[in-house]
Structure 1
Amino acid sequence: MKIKLILVLLLSSIILNAQVIKRDSLRKNNLLKKSILPASLIGVGLIINKSTFEKTFQKDIRNSVGTNYRTNIEDYLAFAPVAQMYIADIAGVKSKNHWFDQGKYLFISNLFSVGITELIKKSNHKLRPNGLPDSFPSGHSTVAFTNATVLYHEFYNTSPTLAYSGYAFATTVGAFRMLNNKHYLSDVLVGAGIGIAVTNLVYYFQPLKNFNPFKKVKNVSFYPSYNDNTYGFYASYQF
């Protein structure tokens, strides 16, 4: 009951905030439009959470691949939109922001979206389909859709195909979380909704907007990297 109250409050705040913003300007009205999808995902997730429908749906999905099916491909696919973004930067595709600002908003978006998801997880006692704890919402889905939404905001004006492609990877992550018997459909939907909603708000308010020590340095590139379960950074300087 507590977890549903938290999510209802989160969903209500998104809708109410968007409704107030609608009256102000075209830019703010754009946030309202972008709030419809995450609000819908969270709303549907709340409706089917712990329902007979999603339990039956999960059994059908699991039976379609067999009870012994296992893969960890979603651990990597969740970060595919990040790789796409920085590869596009290296390739010279025009983006909305400087590479440092991209990383800044990527970090802030993940910090808040994952923080919200983990807070809900710890206050919820829903078991995963495989019997383990902390099922609701899906952390992998939150990260994947957060990253995909950052990619979308950076390239939707200059390269729509690239901008939307991140959501294909994010959706695949959610599907594999269910195929691996780690999450139910509601877990994935709410995780996705949180990731999209938080990232939209970050790009709307643009926290630390003027903080960019590399903005005037044209020959330096600095990107996050992931290899063999190890996180790090890649730096380059063009002479």
Structure 2
Amino acid sequence: MRKTMFSLLLGALSFFQQTQAQTIDSLQIDSKKDKIKIRQLVVPGSLIIVGSALSGSHLEHEIKNSFHDGTENDIDFQLPIDDLIQYTPIVTLYTADLLGAKAKNHWFDQTKYLAIVNIITAGLTHAGKNLIDKDRPNGHPQSFPSGHTSFSFSNAAVLYEEFKDSSPILAWSGYSTTTLVGSLRIVNNRHWLSDVMVGAGLGILVTKLVYHFEPLKNWNPFKKSKEITLAPTVSGDHVGVYFRLGF
């Protein structure tokens, strides 16, 4: 299984390297800017590579055993707050927009990139789960990588990209809750350390690539619209967005 994971990683890294080389040639991106982009991929790439190397290792079993004793009651232990706080970066993003915080992009472009990032991340996450089919610590299947973690880290990375230049504290705030999400997946006996690390790296990596290539960059039918209200809504265990457009 570990050999399969490394093959996938090598294939993905080769694809990204070829794509990046073609983009540099066609768009004539200066070398200084290109080096900055490569540097930004070091953290997510390291999380994916180190996490994959740790999969099935003695270390992650020791970490799991430090939280759980393996009894029947322990296997079903869960603090379900991670199901809710994974949406915190999204709520923070739109709340900041509503309060007038200066962001990199228009709210529609934010939503567009957020959707693209989550669609790609979800596809890669579920493909990994089905292909690798690693058992969770509680015995259930499809552990690798962690979906909660990849989703929450992709959202936190979007928040970071939007506010890193105008409000660094706001930009970094999303990673505090997403780190908690990843930690709770381990504490709740739902994932191994490697699942969480790769999920986090995957979410950040996809976001970095989307914000670098900016797909559908010029598509924004609401750029000149007025009287737009966009606000997050929370009701019980449901999270949504209220939208109103005036003409």
Letter aligned with residue 4 of structure 1? F
| 2:149 and 2:200 in contact (8 A); partners too | yes
Q: Distance in 2 between matches of 1:83 and 1:24?
A: 36
What is aligned with 1:155? Answer: 163
SS in 2 for 1:114: helix
Give runs of aligned pairs for residues 1-239 of structure 1, distance below 5 A. Answer: 1=1, 2-14=4-16, 24-62=30-68, 67=74, 69-222=77-230, 225=233, 227-230=235-238, 232-236=240-244
Q: Number of residues paired by the alignment? A: 237
Which deviates more, 200-209 or 223-232? 223-232
1:154 aligned counterpart, secondary structure: helix
Q: 1:94 to 1:166 in 2, by over 3 A?
A: same
Question: Does the C-alpha gap of structure 1 residues 216 and 32 become closer, same or farther in structure 2, counting only changes over 3 Å?
Answer: same
One-letter code aligned to 1:84? T
CA positional deviation for 1:56 = 1.1
CA offset at residue 70 of structure 1? 1.4
Contact 1:14 1:39 in 2 (8 A): no
For structure 1, the residue ranges without an aligned partner over 5 or more in a row are none
Secondary structure of 2:133 counterpart: coil
Superposed CA offset, 1:161-216 (max 9, x none) = 00001011111100000000000000000011110000000000110101111100
Once the two structures are TM-superposed, the CA of residue 125 in structure 1 deviates from its matched residue by 2.2
Over 3 Å counting, the alpha-carbon distance change for 1:186 and 1:19 in structure 2 is: farther
Residues 84 and 44 (structure 1), Cα distance of their counterparts in 2 relative to 1, 3 Å cut: same
Give the Cα separation in 1 of the matches to 2:226 and 2:104: 16
How much does 1:29 deviate?
A: 2.3
SS at match of 1:236: strand
Which shifted more, 223-232 or 115-124? Answer: 223-232
TM-score by length of 2: 0.87
Q: CA deviation at 1:228?
A: 4.2
* TM-score calculated relative to the size of structure 1: 0.90
Shift of 1:33: 1.3
Secondary structure at 1:234's aligned position in 2? strand
SS in 2 for 1:45: helix
Residues in 2 aligned to 1:8 and 1:31: alpha-carbon distance in whole angstroms: 19
CA displacement 1:45-64 (0-9 Å, x = unmatched)? 1111111111111111335x
Q: Give the gaps of 5 or more residues in structure 2.
A: none
CA contact (8 A) 2:226 2:245 kept: no
Superposition CA RMSD, Å: 2.4
